[in-house]
Structure 1
């Protein structure tokens, strides 16, 4: 994969985000001003579909307390790809990062993942 190829994937993913691909509980709070908000799980799965590697999960802390999890990818040679890192405000700190096995069946956010995946695949077709 060339750098331009990865740029195409990143662009397709970012264009594919919407309120309908975010976590349903957070959907009312999603805005185009912060399109990466609550897109990390579905985005990490789509990147994994396209590029393989490992899924990484860390914890999001505010004032030292875990408030959520954050997902991203680690590709070959240990290169980490996190297309949703900018979603966080200065008070939200991502801690840790453990390799997580890909679920054999996507249950949580399955519809959102499939929607984003289908948009990205369509955008990448020649």
Structure 2
């Protein structure tokens, strides 16, 4: 993976149980529609960044970060979302989704609009429900 930004710390500043619940809840059904053809069980974080960032925002607040992702040949690949928690720590549980040659550029803060997301609402709602169910379970 090539990235213009440093990778976040190996152990993100969110409870391990939350990170594990998110990762265990990812599937093709929670993947962004733009990335669903590239999603595989071997790369489960592919296309999960938007919904994951929103679920983390629901749980912890903070800032939503958005950056362009460019391919090595100069074409825009898409956009990448992650979080800056209150206190300033950045959390990016889906950074490993990118292939060699995909470069994540510096982010900008995006204010979350009121109400449900306009894009990929079903994917976000499914991921949120799965994560909350896992967090409410034993453990």
**TM-score between both structures, scaled by the size of structure 1:** 0.91
Q: Which residue, out of 5, 9, 17, partners 2:18?
A: 9
How far apart in 2 are the matches of 1:76 and 1:41? Answer: 19
Higher helix share goes to which structure? Answer: 1
2:46 pairs with 1:46: no
SS in 1 for 2:67: strand
Superposed CA RMSD in Å reads: 1.7
Shift of 1:4: 9.4
2:128 pairs with 1:117: yes
How far apart in 1 are the matches of 2:14 and 2:71? Answer: 36
Shift of 1:62: 1.0
**Which whole-Å deviations, capped at 9, do the CAs of 1:86-107 have from their partners, x for residues lacking one?**
0001200100100001122312
Structure 1: segments with no counterpart, 5+ residues? none
SS in 2 for 1:24: coil
Structure 2: segments with no counterpart, 5+ residues? 1-11
Shift of 1:67: 1.9
8 Å CA contact retained: 2:71, 2:77: yes
Total equivalences in the alignment: 124
Q: Which has the higher contact order (CA 8 A, sep 6+)?
A: 2
How far apart in 1 are the matches of 2:46 and 2:13? Answer: 25
**TM-score between both structures, scaled by the size of structure 2:** 0.83
How far apart in 2 are the matches of 1:99 and 1:117? Answer: 22
Higher strand share goes to which structure? Answer: 1
